[in-house]
Amino acid sequence: MTVTPSNSSALSEEVKLDTPLEIAGKMFTSRFLLGTGKFKNKTDLAQSIEASKTEIVTVALRRIDLERHDENILEYIPKNVTLLVNTSGARNAKEAVRIARLAKEAGYGNWVKIEVINDSKYLLPDNQETVKAAEVLAVEGFVVLPYMYPDLYAARALAQAGAAAVMPLGSLIGSNRGLKVKEFIQILIDEIDLPIVVDAGLGAPSHAAEAMEMGADAVLVNTAVATAGNPALIARAFAMAVQAGRLAYLGRDRSRPVPAMTADPSSPLTGFLYDQSR
Amino acid sequence: MHITLNGQKKEILPSQNLREVVGRFSQNSSVLIAEVNGAIVKKNQWDEIRVNDGDTIELVSFIGGG
């Protein structure tokens, strides 16, 4: 499979070395998903989308504010970018299903990030309710990408329910703490036959690179970009880190675990300038 | 007569359709989706849906989110 880069920049050239990311039959050149919350202004958002070359962005659904005029966020998202509507605010499966159905009615596609959270301190996803919502929404024809705690049984249940991808958290939402549950994400990467998109907690481009190096198919970042001093620059840095991590994963020596538990010399251990027989 | 719109009590004139009520209370051009008494009402049906006393209406749209 070949990918035609959208422009001739170095970032796009690298993509030729890779196959596209496929989710629900749709091909993506970029493996970097961007959340649109918390941006100081819409200009920062638009510039970050452009700088990141992202092809999937998340949005949320809320009651409109009757007291003031809100800008329409969709005006700042290019038409060729896939909209992934999250069900944030849902505390159980039923509420998530309601939000997803409302979102579909808007006419911007049927991609939904199931997010069921019933804990305001840690904002941890409720895997059980997430599975229930996935079962209903997949049957209704939604492209379901569930945000979840990296648990193998839950991931299997989500795959069984018809999820198009699985999105395990790296650490707590907005915490910028990186891959705190790395070994359990690795199990999902190794065992689940769906794209694994690491979502939440990735606070630095190096975290994103780490997730990709271990074999994640993509990452989703919001807070670390939106709250950066220069969001567009950080968005670009994340996109480059995602590609670097991806190439590192593709180019790895599959026979040798990384990191190894013993040393392996970089220089030959023969032909020294002294007599080795002594 | 009274309705509950996005959680707030609002007084409206009788015999109004959904589009008129939305136009009266929303300053947003980006209103995308409406729910009346828990049921989604498609935008092309807004003219036909008569708003009744005691109705609960939700108007939602997209915002930034992760």
pLDDT tens string B12-55: 999 899 999 998 888 776 667 999 999 999 888 999 999 999 99
Burial bucket for residue A202 (CB in 10 Å: 0-12, 13-18, 19+): buried
Catalytic residue among A16, A38, A42, A113: A113
- Assigned domain for A133 exists: yes
Does residue A205 have a cis peptide bond before it, meaning omega lies within 30 degrees of 0? no
How many angstroms away from the CA of B46 is the closest CA of chain A? 13
Q: How far apart are CA B63 and CA A36, in angstroms?
A: 8
Residue A91 burial (CB < 10 Å; 0-12/13-18/19+)?
middle
In order of A53, A69, A153, A185, the CA distances from A37 in angstroms are: 17, 18, 30, 25
Count how many domains chain A has: 1
Q: Does the residue A273 lie in any domain? A: no
Is residue A171 within 8 Å of residue A153, measured between CB atoms?
no
Task: Give the Cα separation of A222 and B64 in Å (integer).
Answer: 10
User: Looking at per-residue confidence, does A7 or A139 come out higher?
Assistant: A139
Per-residue pLDDT band for A94 (boundaries 50, 70, 90) equals very high
Residue A106: predicted pLDDT: 86
Query: How far is the C-alpha of A189 from the C-alpha of B28, rounded, in Å?
Result: 43
Query: How close does chain A come to B40, measured CA to CA in Å?
Result: 7
For the record, the structure tokens of A145 come out as 């990408």
What is the rounded CA–CA span in Å between residue B51 and residue A28?
A: 44
- Per-residue pLDDT at A141: 97
User: Is A40 designated active site?
Assistant: no
Q: Which residue has the higher pLDDT, A257 or A202?
A: A202
Work out the pLDDT band at A68, boundaries 50, 70, 90: confident
- Smallest Cβ distance to B30: which of A45, A63, A70? A70
Cα dihedral sign, A135-A136-A138-A142: negative
pLDDT above 90: residue A230? yes
**What CATH number is attached to the domain comprising A171?**
3.20.20.70
Q: Does domain B2-60 have CATH number 3.20.20.20?
A: no
- pLDDT, tens digit, 9 for 90 and up, residues A191-201: 999 999 999 99
Q: What is the pLDDT of residue A3?
A: 47
Q: How confident is the model at residue A22 (pLDDT cuts 50, 70, 90)?
A: very high
A229 within some domain: yes
Containing domain of residue A112, as a range?
A: 10-250
CA-based nearest residue in chain A for residue B8: A66
- Domain coordinates in residue numbering, chain B: 2-60
Best interface-test mutation with B: which of A43, A58, A66 has the largest number of B CBs within 10 A? A66
Is the Cβ pair B64, A60 closer than 8 Å?
yes
* Average pLDDT score, chain A: 91
Chain B residues close to A101, C-beta within 8 Å: 40
A 113-172: CB under 8 A from B: none
- Bridge partners (DSSP) of residue A148 are A168
